[in-house]
Amino acid sequence: MINSCPRFDSKTDALLWLAEELPELHDVYVLFSNIIDGDQINGIPVFPQSIADELDKLHELPLWFNGEVTMIPVDSRSLYWEIETELDEAYESELGVEMESYYAATALLNSVINLNISATFVCSAIDETSFNKSLQVYIDKLNHLEAGILKMAASEITESYLIKSLRARHMTISRKARNFYVPAKEFDTLLTSRVTLNHLIVVDGNYAYCHKAKGAAELLGKMGINVEHIVECGLGKLSWLVNHVDLNKDTIVSTVFRHPIIGYVAFGSTKPAEINGIGVPADISEKLDGDDDGDIIDLVPLVVLRNQQVEFVSTTLD
């Protein structure tokens, strides 16, 4: 195993040697060397559509080590992402050209390419000491890749929730106020969106209408809203109910998260107003550790109380 492959002067040489050694994987290693040889932004390889198209064809990537190849299954969507800048559209209209799409390698693709290069470094060691040392570095890189995959899995789970919020800057309002104040236009867009309708509960007398009943009674109970009947209904009916909300008669109850959530969340009645942030009463701000120096707050509407005018704010601690 020691000195079982040549020592290469460049990463590209190592990848092209692997391409020659492994004819069945020749094209993949040439693709890797093209990626490494191309442009970089802050050390991350970037490439044009043609390379992205080649990557789309791959369902597994090789990890070479001392003549043996282990294939790691991949989804091509996890190998690159499109680089888009705010200026693309402006340039396109200004210059009258269509900007070519450009892509950047993900950490997963980067790791796999680098592991292949590192493997040639380990196997070209000329004595036991340097072999063991470089092998340990290689194993550390594998552990790093493993950690990266675990992180991706965690983020898949996080991303699996289909929630939308009104995200804005925290603005403190008077202690006397008993509402969350929200920018009217953005709040209306959120309230009437399909994602919100999916979890919204409309309470009308003793009936609570919602698309899915799971957790509805418990959530209402936690907010001190008690109803006798939970009725599942279609999104069409909910949409009609939401589009007929009259804030002179009805109340919208929302929940508020301060990122990071510091142990509890706030909820309360919500008042659209001429404000460009989310207004949180000062006593609740203190509990959420929010002030007006740029803190971000997310607000999610949860319940519409029909024909009930109430003003309250509370936290899960109260």
**Which residues 214-233 are close enough to bind other proteins by CB under 8 A?**
214-216, 218-219, 222
Least distance between other proteins and beta carbon 33 (Å):
21
Number of residues near other proteins (by CB under 8 A): 97
Binding to other proteins by residue 99, rule CB under 8 A?
Answer: no
To which residue do tokens 């009936």 refer?
Answer: 207
The residue among 101 and 276 lying less far from other proteins, judged by its C-beta, is 276
Span of 29-37, 46-54, 243-251, 291-299 interacting with other proteins by CB under 8 A: 291-299
Task: State the Cα–Cα distance between residues 29 and 296, nearest whole angstrom.
Answer: 45
Least distance between other proteins and beta carbon 80 (Å):
16
Q: Do the Cβ atoms of 109 and 79 come closer than 8 Å?
A: yes
Least distance between other proteins and beta carbon 277 (Å):
6
Question: Of 53, 67, 91, 101, which lies in the binding site for other proteins, with binding defined by CB under 8 A?
Answer: 91
* φ, ψ of residue 242 in degrees (nearest 5): -70, -40
Q: Do the Cβ atoms of 202 and 241 come closer than 8 Å?
A: yes
Question: Of 39, 57, 84, 87, which lies in the binding site for other proteins, with binding defined by CB under 8 A?
Answer: 87
Span of 9-17, 23-31, 48-56, 276-284 interacting with other proteins by CB under 8 A: 276-284
The residue among 49 and 174 lying less far from other proteins, judged by its C-beta, is 174
Span of 5-13, 45-53, 99-107, 268-276 interacting with other proteins by CB under 8 A: 268-276
Specify the 3-state DSSP secondary structure of 119. helix
Of 230, 236, 239, the C-alpha closest to 191 is 239
Binding to other proteins by residue 265, rule CB under 8 A?
Answer: yes
Measure Cα distances from 141 to 43, 144, 145, 287 in Å: 17, 5, 6, 42
Of 234, 237, 236, 245, the C-alpha closest to 303 is 245
> Which of the residues 159 through 218 are near other proteins (CB under 8 A)?
159-177, 181-183, 186, 189-190, 193, 195, 198-199, 212, 214-216, 218
Provide the token pair at 133: 């040392």
Of 300, 288, 197, the C-alpha closest to 255 is 300
Provide the token pair at 126: 């000329």
Pairing between β-strand 68-73 and β-strand 60-65 as defined by DSSP bridges: antiparallel
Span of 13-21, 49-57, 237-245, 288-296 interacting with other proteins by CB under 8 A: 288-296
Binding to other proteins by residue 273, rule CB under 8 A?
Answer: yes
Q: What is the number of other CB atoms lying within 10 angstroms of the CB of residue 168?
A: 19
The residue among 50 and 294 lying less far from other proteins, judged by its C-beta, is 294
Task: State the Cα–Cα distance between residues 134 and 318, nearest whole angstrom.
Answer: 57
Least distance between other proteins and beta carbon 51 (Å):
22
The residue among 151 and 229 lying less far from other proteins, judged by its C-beta, is 151
Burial class of residue 185, CB neighbours in 10 A (0-12, 13-18, 19+): exposed
Span of 14-22, 24-32, 128-136, 240-248 interacting with other proteins by CB under 8 A: 128-136
Specify the 3-state DSSP secondary structure of 308. coil
CA dihedral 108, 114, 119, 120 (to 10 degrees): 150
> Which of the residues 46 through 75 are near other proteins (CB under 8 A)?
63, 65, 70-75
Question: Of 19, 35, 135, 227, which lies in the binding site for other proteins, with binding defined by CB under 8 A?
Answer: 135
Binding to other proteins by residue 98, rule CB under 8 A?
Answer: no
Binding to other proteins by residue 31, rule CB under 8 A?
Answer: no
Least distance between other proteins and beta carbon 250 (Å):
20
Task: State the Cα–Cα distance between residues 178 and 313, nearest whole angstrom.
Answer: 6
